[in-house]
Structure 1
Amino acid sequence: MKSTAMAVAMAMTVCAVATGSEPIKMVDIPAGYFYMGSRALGENFDEGPVHKVTLTRPMRMSATEITNAQYEEFFPEHRALRGKNGVSADDNDAVVNVSYHDALEFCKKLGQREGRIYRLPTEAEWEYACRGGTYTLYNTGDWFPDSCHKSQRVARDFDPVSLRVGQFAPNAFGLYDMHGNVEEWCMDYYGPYTADEATDPCGPAQGEYRVTRGGSHHTPVKYLRSANRSAMLPDDRHSQTGFRIVESDAELQHSGEEWSVPAVRRDISAGEFMWDTPSDTPFYLPPIPFVVAPQCGNGVPFYRHNHQPAVTWCDNGDLLAIWFSANEENGREVTVLSSRLKAGCGEWEEAREFFRVSDRNLTGSSLLNDGNGTLLHINGMEASGDWQNLAMIARRSHDNGATWSAPEIIAPEHTRRHQVIAGPSITAEGWIIQACDAGPGGNDGTALHISRDGGHTWEDPWDGAPLPDFSDGGVGSTIAGIHAGVVQLADGSLMALGRGNSIAGSDGKLHMPMSISRDMGRTWTYSASPLPPIDGGQRLVLRRLNEGPLLLVSFTGHPQRTPETDRGMEFTAPDGTKAKGYGMYAAVSFDDGRTWPVRRLVTDSVPRFLDGGAWTGFFESDSTHAEPRGYLCATQTPDGIIHLLSSRLHYRFNLAWLLEAMQ
């Protein structure tokens, strides 16, 4: 980085913008050049390639982040948000819970009063200013001092922490809190770097996300590095992001085609597909993997843990599956990948990136074909890491998933009850119902979100009450069990089955909880179902088949956590013989869940050694053993074929195959 003693001396010149609150101190930063980015290893692939950036104009940047008092001089209503999540309560704390647009509006109002132009820094300006002449991981060196950490960790619940600006020593340019305290909005749309040298770059001309920089409180220190890049939806607001400002001599202009982000459109058929007529002939195909690793070097991030799938059918005859890929489930590297089984093909395509917001945890995805030519994608979106405090977004596709609309925030609060579960459905009233885990614990239950306008606005009918004691059933406003499947019954009521919150039955054993709501999710009554409970690494499917009956796919117990005496169920083979079986089974109910007379292991009895991926790992399948664990999702195509996905494998069968067990 070009820097001289004179330049540093210039940088230390401090001017103040007069406000009714504490003045905004502005620091002069000289023009110069530097090399932007990092080695771009692993999850930090978006930080490369390293490229030379020249900033031809000196700038004045606020020495600290904008504070509550400074922001509220123009927006006094923001005071109601002080102290939310236990942070940013005082006048001189960095302001948070402001969107990108809020930050721009502050710059506009300040500029109108001062007769000057204020804006957010570009991403290049921010990194140049943060580094202050360094190329180490932090402007303090390759380690960030413990005295500056401010509780830098992933925490499911925020600890009260001071966000007072300027508590620690500034960098060589006289800027405070460039690492940590709060993330800071930048001007740029988020987009890929190129290796080309750039002069006064200001990012892509279009995009879906804006860049944030610097990391925040409750964030692992590695995300505070000078080169680290994060992205946010510009409408998003949460307790970890604020901003600082730059005084400019002119409005910025986008700098060239090399920065534009090309539209991505996959080669996907848009034609009509002629589905076969549903058949009464039993049908079962051996499982095949749908999680197919991408080829090395193609730029698709693919991590060691691939989990929590969702699946839908497309009008062109394809199947579309998505899942998250991560090293750690609560990590910030999480990305959502997809694969496609094209009509008439026998193998799934290799994985491609489907949805990513850089440095945000994206736990929980669902897909729905609304039957009118639209695919709906719903996803959780964290402010940082972990999967507890998620907002929810939605996207739409009208061309079988070739392109998708920009993400729309449908549940803006980063909070519990937003961890999306695969398997939304449409009620008889035309409403979409979407289940979400109500918390991060195994017994936190399931929330229900309802949209009456095609997925644009949503409500959670929860009354705020905690889950009740399930020892005697009871009544509550949250579904019993996490990862629940929800269906509408013939009388218009809702039924749900879930994992955890098990209820003792008349036999004295624990059973899977059943929840019934007769008021569209406002209240639920609980009872013991006739089905065995499930546990870690297992998620059930509950849906109504095209033919009318209900389908449940679940597990006979947990291979490690269920007592051996309770493990397994008795099944009837097509030849009438009975045997105890273990693992994944499918059950059919013709009376809206009161009884499940059809139960069959999901196996064709052929001995196989299979890799179930994720938490399942390797297992043997034969006449009495099916997949022991897996996060399940399913769709049924118009030809009647049930497509069941576990954490890695795709099973195909029809209702006639299930009914063989009754013959």
Structure 2
Amino acid sequence: MKKHKWFAALAAMLMALTVAGCSNPSSGTGNSGVSIPKGFVKVKGGTVTGKSNTNNYAGVFIEGRTVTLSDFYMSKYEVTKAQYKAIMEDTSLNTLGITADPSFSTLKPTKYVMAAGEEDYERPVENVSWYDAVYFCNLLSKKEGLEPVYTINNTETKTVSYPSAGASGNETVSIKFISSATVTPDHTKNGYRLPTEAEWEYAARGGDPSKADWDYTFSGANTAAETSYDSKSNTGLDAVGWYWYNTCNGGTTTSTEMKEGTAGFGTHQKGLKAPNALGIYDMSGNVWEWCYDGPGVVSTGEETDPLGSSSGSKHILRGGAWSCIANYTSVCKRVSEAPSYRQNNIGFRLVRSAN
């Protein structure tokens, strides 16, 4: 009898382990057996031979350029308000006192009205500078005992005030952010970081140049029939992204444009749209995502794990946002802003090097 009980207990334990392993694939292992961070997917690198883009913007994989990328992990979702707040409220980490909840959806909730059925703190954090984003990466790395990727020196902060803010609309709320710093990356470290522009576009396209998804206009979806890639309105985007013509319309494109104070005006909860081929969400629309790179001209030739231009005083943003027309949410559209710039439609997602 005791032996039977022992076997039954062992069988139950093995079953429990099997079920647990299947219930959370995001924290499983890749082909190499290395653990994939929870909430991330492993993006297998490769070599991309650029080509002419006749139905889209050029992006970074241009004709005459060959880019080889190493494997990396990318977060399935944009960093949420909850994730950002949890780290920034830890004063042992956030010694600069950067505001833990800077988002306009919190500052001006009567204007940036959450859509019915969504969770506020599962919306992407926004109104963060590029400096804030790399600072967050370092803090999260330290929290988890990883090696920080960025060396951040000569840090300066700034505080700005927003009148007519808060839940009542009658408060003045101050936001502290990093306005200047010297940032040096070391991608050999195992901590969290921003994606390079090449990594971002590679993942947004689905990670496989041989598949049809690679040439889709949006991340995980193509243009609607009889619609040009540069159209302001595009129902092909409805399946995968939030943008100007669907953010206040339940996610379906209509001729009605978004309106301040209407439900859905602003960001939306992570992961409500379909993912792309890699299982990554919201790479077209919702919020612009900071990349590490500067915005220099994309050059031809061969490069391995390019960091982009180191000249200039701006950094790349990719993916478009809830406030953008459709063609700005293309997987190829490139824009840039100063690293101190913050806005109601700018956030970020995380990557980690996998090699």
TM above 0.5: yes
* Post-superposition CA distance 1:407-460 (Å, at most 9, x none): xxxxxxxxxxxxxxxxxxxxxxxxxxxxxxxxxxxxxxxxxxxxxxxxxxxxxx
Q: Say whether 1:31 aligns with 2:48.
A: no
Q: CA deviation at 1:199?
A: 1.6
Q: Please, what TM-score do these two structures have when normalized by structure 2? A: 0.58
Structure 1: give runs of 5+ residues left out of the alignment: 1-11, 17-22, 251-663
> Equivalent residue of 1:28, what SS?
strand
**Partners of 2:349 and 2:71 in 1: CA distance:** 17
In the alignment, which residue of structure 1 is the partner of 2:242? 150
Count of residues in correspondence between the two structures: 232
Task: Note the 1:448-467 alignment, pairs <5 A.
Answer: none
Pairing partner for 1:96 from 113, 126, 131: 126
> Equivalent residue of 2:291, what SS?
strand
Q: Is the 8 A contact 1:123 1:186 kept in 2?
A: yes
**Partners of 1:177 and 1:105 in 2: CA distance:** 23
Task: Note the 1:132-281 alignment, pairs <5 A.
Answer: 132=206, 133=208, 134-138=214-218, 139-143=220-224, 144-153=236-245, 157=260, 159-161=262-264, 162-248=267-353
Q: CA deviation at 1:100?
A: 0.3
Report the aligned-residue RMSD.
Answer: 3.0
In the alignment, which residue of structure 2 is the partner of 1:500? none
Pairing partner for 1:14 from 6, 10, 26: 26
Task: Specify whether residues 127 and 38 from structure 1 end up closer, same or farther in structure 2 by C-alpha distance, changes over 3 A only.
Answer: farther
Task: Note the 1:112-131 alignment, pairs <5 A.
Answer: 112-116=142-146, 117-131=191-205
Q: Is the 8 A contact 2:59 2:332 kept in 1?
A: no
User: Whose strand proportion is higher, 1 or 2?
Assistant: 1
In the alignment, which residue of structure 2 is the partner of 1:108? 138
**Partners of 1:47 and 1:125 in 2: CA distance:** 10
Amino acid at match of 2:194: L
Amino acid at match of 2:82: A
Amino acid at match of 2:81: N
* Post-superposition CA distance 1:114-137 (Å, at most 9, x none): 122110000000000000031222
Pairing partner for 2:112 from 86, 106, 131: 86
**Partners of 1:55 and 1:159 in 2: CA distance:** 45
**Partners of 1:64 and 1:38 in 2: CA distance:** 30
Structure 2: give runs of 5+ residues left out of the alignment: 1-23, 29-36, 90-98, 147-190, 209-213, 225-235, 246-256
> Equivalent residue of 1:197, what SS?
strand
Q: Is the 8 A contact 1:209 1:232 kept in 2?
A: yes
Q: Is the 8 A contact 1:93 1:165 kept in 2?
A: yes
Q: Please, what TM-score do these two structures have when normalized by structure 1? A: 0.32
Task: Specify whether residues 249 and 206 from structure 1 end up closer, same or farther in structure 2 by C-alpha distance, changes over 3 A only.
Answer: farther
**Partners of 1:246 and 1:86 in 2: CA distance:** 28
Task: Specify whether residues 152 and 51 from structure 1 end up closer, same or farther in structure 2 by C-alpha distance, changes over 3 A only.
Answer: farther
**Partners of 1:168 and 1:208 in 2: CA distance:** 34
**Partners of 1:94 and 1:100 in 2: CA distance:** 15
Q: RCO (CA 8 Å, sep 6+): is it higher in 1 or 2?
A: 2
Task: Specify whether residues 169 and 208 from structure 1 end up closer, same or farther in structure 2 by C-alpha distance, changes over 3 A only.
Answer: same
> Equivalent residue of 1:79, what SS?
coil
Task: Specify whether residues 63 and 197 from structure 1 end up closer, same or farther in structure 2 by C-alpha distance, changes over 3 A only.
Answer: same
Q: CA deviation at 1:173?
A: 1.0
Q: Is the 8 A contact 2:316 2:337 kept in 1?
A: yes
**Partners of 1:40 and 1:108 in 2: CA distance:** 40
In the alignment, which residue of structure 2 is the partner of 1:347? none
> Equivalent residue of 1:223, what SS?
helix
Task: Specify whether residues 149 and 115 from structure 1 end up closer, same or farther in structure 2 by C-alpha distance, changes over 3 A only.
Answer: closer
Q: Is the 8 A contact 2:113 2:263 kept in 1?
A: yes
Task: Specify whether residues 48 and 179 from structure 1 end up closer, same or farther in structure 2 by C-alpha distance, changes over 3 A only.
Answer: same
Structure 1 or 2, whichever has the larger Rg, is: 1
Q: CA deviation at 1:196?
A: 1.7
Task: Note the 1:521-560 alignment, pairs <5 A.
Answer: none
Task: Specify whether residues 158 and 182 from structure 1 end up closer, same or farther in structure 2 by C-alpha distance, changes over 3 A only.
Answer: farther
Q: Is the 8 A contact 1:36 1:124 kept in 2?
A: no
Q: Is the 8 A contact 2:289 2:317 kept in 1?
A: yes
> Equivalent residue of 2:275, what SS?
coil
Q: Is the 8 A contact 1:46 1:192 kept in 2?
A: no
Q: CA deviation at 1:248?
A: 2.3
Identity %: 32
Amino acid at match of 2:84: Y
Q: CA deviation at 1:48?
A: 7.5
